[in-house]
Structure formats: C-alpha cells, structure tokens
Amino acid sequence: MTDAWNDAEIRPAVAADVDVVKAVTDAAYHHYVERIGRVPQPMEADHAANVAAGRVFVVGEPVTGLVVIEAFEDHLFLDSIAVRPDAHGQGAGRRLLAFVDARARALGLDEVRLCTNAKMWENQKIYPKYGYEFVERRVDGPYDRIHYRKRLA
C-alpha cells in the first residue's frame, strides 16, 4: 500500500486558501481549548497576513494540513503545524515536518525551532521522534511553552 501523501504536493498557500487555513487550524487545535484554558495561539493568528507573507504551506486537495513557518537569520521557526483530525495517521504531518527541514536547508539554515504548549503533551512525545531536542520550558505571557530545536546535518 502506498502512502497517499507521498504524491500530495506541498505548496504555498494563496489568498483563496485563507478560509481553509483557518478551518484546518481551528479543527486541529480546538480540542486543546478546554485543556489549556484558553484559545491556542495558532487559532488567533492573522491567517490572511501569514498567507500574504508567504509563511503558510498547505498539503492536500482539498487542504488537509499546513505549516506556518518564518525564517530568521540563524533558524527557521515552525510557528504552527495543523492536520485535520479526520486525516490523522495518513502521513500528512510527517510530510509537513520533512518539508520544514527541506525548506530550512534550501534557505541555508541549519536549525529549526518550535514551541508547544506544555499541556499539549502529545506533542512532547512526537517532536523528539523527529529529531527535536528540548531547549527550555518558559512562560510567554499567558502561555506555558516547551521550546525545541532540531539541528540539521
């Protein structure tokens, strides 16, 4: 059996994708609202501005997953990764994480950084499996976050 996501193109989001970017993000993060006691930051993002700035990349037709990234001088920041719950377990997240690594390399960056809410404990099991190492736990405003980094070879 082939992985359907191997053939799915990851492409930059365009203005017409803004509504689906919001919908996928909301679907992916909504179940955390009760657990963390507030709306997760990705749900409050300015999706139109992120798309216009070229920071959002989507996969699937229709879109089932996305990443929001931002390049800095010394690293690529993975601001958000979201996969529609009904698409979990089909490889979209794995493909998107591989895309982030490839994008960092293409930009000449040798490190990817991200953070996750401390109450999103599932992520604390996932990211180390993909080469991310714990950096620190830090409270940023109302968010208790675990910061990770991945050094690319």
Vertex 27 angle, CA 81 and 20, to 5°:
80
pTM above 0.75, yes or no: yes
Query: How distant is the alpha carbon of residue 118 from its chain centre?
Result: 16
Residue type, 118: A
Q: Is the peptide bond before 62 cis (omega within 30 degrees of 0)?
A: yes
| Tens digit of pLDDT at every position of the chain (153 positions) | 334 445 569 999 999 999 999 999 999 999 999 999 999 999 999 999 999 999 999 999 999 999 999 999 999 999 999 999 999 999 999 999 999 999 999 999 999 999 999 999 999 999 999 999 999 999 988 899 999 999 997
